[in-house]
């Protein structure tokens, strides 16, 4: 039976972008079904009460922005993909997260989210405004006006909140997070573990995440 993998991600997350470029291959290689669950990672961190990027002193060099850019560029080189570091302070990532949720309501979350990731990280755009969102929606086969109109609807906010709550309930503390059959894998670099879990004959060798 095909395993389901819930993919919790944020458009503003460079590691979510990197991981997203591997998911088509993951489905083909393992037979799994990836369910895209968009959210704004800042909302996830704040609701958990732990936001590493807002602490007065960061606990580890892994949260240093210069290192994260360098690390992402290394992963992009390894994957053989184009990567542009977004400019600080010009991207409305919470708004983009809601746009992805709106696309989910329209039945095209994966296609729209992939197009958004491409615009932000592969094209290096820093002007993803309302008109650009409509263009991205068109690339995903959606009506741009309809998608933009749904971003501020209560149902979109409620579905976003559910994604955040479900992620926290599964044990997620950041993005990207992959959840499958009680197992949690955090980060682009954990894809190797997820792939092994999905393909090995003894998946019970992987412990389930404690609540």
Cα separation of 29 and 50, whole Å? 36
Q: What pairing do the DSSP bridges indicate for beta strands 183-186 and 177-180? A: antiparallel
Q: Domains in the chain: how many in total? A: 1
> Running along the chain, 211 residues long, what does each successive block of 10 average in pLDDT?
93 97 98 98 87 57 82 98 86 94 98 97 89 96 98 98 97 96 97 98 94 66
Please enumerate in sequence order all residues whose Cβ is within 8 A of that of 177, keeping only pairs 6 or more positions apart, or say none.
Answer: 7, 8, 167, 170, 184, 185, 186
The token pair at 101 is 């949720």
Q: How many CB atoms lie within 10 A of CB 44?
A: 24
Q: What is the pLDDT of residue 57?
A: 57
Residue 104, domain extent: 4-205
Residue 12 lies in a domain: yes
Answer whether residue 210 is part of any domain.
no
- Which class for 190: exposed (0-12), middle (13-18), buried (19 or more C-beta within 10 A)? middle
72 within a domain of the structure (yes/no): yes
Instruction: Note whether residue 211 is domain-resident.
Output: no
The DSSP string of 97-165 is HHHHHHHHHTT-HHHHHHHHHIIIIIS--S---HHHHHHHHHHTT--HHHHHHHTTSHHHHHHHHHHHH
Residue 84 domain flag:
yes
CA angle 194, 196, 197 (to 5 degrees): 65
Residue 88 is predicted with a pLDDT of: 74
- What is this structure's pTM? 0.93
Q: Report yes or no on 201 lying in a domain.
A: yes
Q: Is 14 exposed, middle or buried (0-12, 13-18, 19+ CB in 10 A)?
A: buried
Q: What is the per-residue pLDDT for 126?
A: 80
CATH number of the structural domain spanning residue 22: 3.40.30.10
């Amino acid at each position: 039976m095909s395993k389901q993998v819930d993919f919790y991600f944020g458009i503003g997350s460079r590691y979510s972008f990197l991981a997203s470029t591997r998911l088509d291959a993951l489905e083909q290689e393992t037979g799994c079904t990836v369910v895209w669950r968009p959210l704004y990672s800042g909302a996830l961190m704040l609701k958990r009460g732990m936001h590493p990027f807002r602490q007065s002193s960061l606990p580890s060099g892994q949260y240093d922005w210069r290192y994260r850019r360098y690390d992402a560029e290394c992963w992009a080189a390894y994957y053989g993909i184009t990567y542009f570091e977004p400019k600080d302070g010009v991207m409305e990532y919470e708004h983009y997260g809601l746009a992805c949720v709106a696309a989910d309501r329209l039945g095209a979350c994966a296609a729209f989210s992939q197009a958004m990731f491409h615009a932000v990280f592969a094209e290096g755009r820093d002007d993803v405004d309302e008109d650009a969102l409509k263009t991205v929606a068109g690339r995903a086969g959606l009506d741009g006006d309809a998608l933009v109109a749904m971003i501020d609807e209560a149902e979109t906010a409620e579905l976003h909140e559910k994604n955040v709550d479900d992620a926290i309930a599964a044990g997620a503390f950041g993005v990207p997070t992959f959840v499958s059959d009680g197992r949690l894998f955090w980060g682009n670099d954990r894809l190797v573990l997820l792939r092994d879990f999905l393909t090995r004959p003894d998946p019970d060798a992987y412990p389930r995440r404690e609540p």
